[in-house]
Structure 1
């Protein structure tokens, strides 16, 4: 009798031959980093091929180098967070971390799609997401002196490869290997980050992308302020999402929805609460009625639970490579994540008065 399709024996033999690790255990959760939480590195909407904005005096441009391929969105960013968790697991188990990571596509689908049955379209979408991460180039330019600026170019992943099993019924991807760029690997291993369970991450990111981004920006600012109340100008918030809405539209729709969602979500409100306030000469007061948009801020207060524990996966001495390049990347990150004059803690407000 002749059988068709992929048998377990075929899959096992192909896996041994290719060295695929697609059967490895799924990681416990994801890892987020404060720098990416604060920066507008991913598009809010689909079908965007070029995005340019200015944050804290630094001009950031994100564009796709491949015709027909748009820049990645927050949904695509989840793959980067999953890869960071894989690197974390290797380090915590005493292994040697590498930017070349074997991963099971089903793991990506579960994190992005929320589980359930999977089909060919789900696997194709994973490839499309990886193509966007691979095609995207990021340029950041900032002044380093009165008459000199520095322009840095980087990307998320250098390459990805798929092991494909050919059967009578068609093709099946049985192995996936993703190679992070050197910059992305250093960003993940040396940036301040924290871990989150898969369940909590899915709960927080199940909302509209702009709501998830607003929450992430608020949480990162609160962590940097060590739990002290933080005030963020809503225009700064809009740019960091980044939102294509006008400031008025951003306040009326995404921001209002995010404030409502954060209050209603147990997984979000455990860390923080948010409210709109107005900045006056005497300080911040609750927003009551209309006010000039430039005077409107969002107040972020610590919730009942302790904030996530922040750590670095590797010290500088363990990463090797060109320390000059690393220093440039760290300098860029420090500049881009500087909250500048648009976000203040209570202590900073007291110092300025």
Structure 2
């Protein structure tokens, strides 16, 4: 009987694995059908213009976005960005059809997966090209390699989509930002960009600037979209709980939601307005994001009282770190690049930790208010 229970628990995961294999197989066939006539009779470079790496990056980016949407549709939950918590399955807009916001969030997260695949394969092809200098790939091998790369991408992204939740999405956001910024750094036309400031990565008309600005814009949109889920008052505070502390917690959650949305908008603004386009809007976006983060650090205790104490201490330490870095910059001890880099890492790190803590709180059993006769019933 025990083995039957284990098999029952594993069945959904096995079904998802089977569907992911089918998605990977479809991506393999599609990539092969496109690559064979395109590569026919040619020898391709590993990286660079018209190379194998460029084809794989573009094809995998498109396939990753499609695979994510396919995975969400396969779960039969509609085009929602990730699994709805069990407690919310009968509440609000999650019970019926997906809302326009759900569809928008799903598209944004699918786009993030696509960009991760695009930039990831570009970076990998550059590394391989450096390891196999002056090597070329014959068309049959190139087509096979491209098909395998696309199949692997579809398989991984499909499983990511099926199992997506708030905690897993925080990892996707972290990977997305890291891959995007590193790609911009490695492809910067000026190797001494760091002597100016971090924003110098977005000031040229190169692929590096496109990667940098696009990463900030999409990351900002993702943070804005996530604010609604990371501060869902229905999940973190029982709707029927009318105690004063519950009302204060709901009000604090709304404040944190507004602040997170503002952080996302300002982050996107940093990418939308490069320093050479509008110094005022760029600086207002960057400084406003740090100031808003500083407010959230002190608001979050009332919004998420069930979080561990170490999370609140972490926020205070991060806030103190930014203050110290700004003082170092003012006195000339640190250059602007270091100050911006540390501040950016601190803000993103805290956001990712907050998403994970909020996701853990959402998934935890919630204490319902005791009313009526049950309130007077002794435990024993």
Return the TM-score normalized by structure 1.
Answer: 0.26
Return the TM-score normalized by structure 2.
Answer: 0.25
- The structure with the greater share of residues assigned to strand is 1
Tell which structure's C-alpha radius of gyration is larger: 2
- The structure with the greater share of residues assigned to helix is 2
Higher relative contact order (CA 8 A, sep 6+): 1
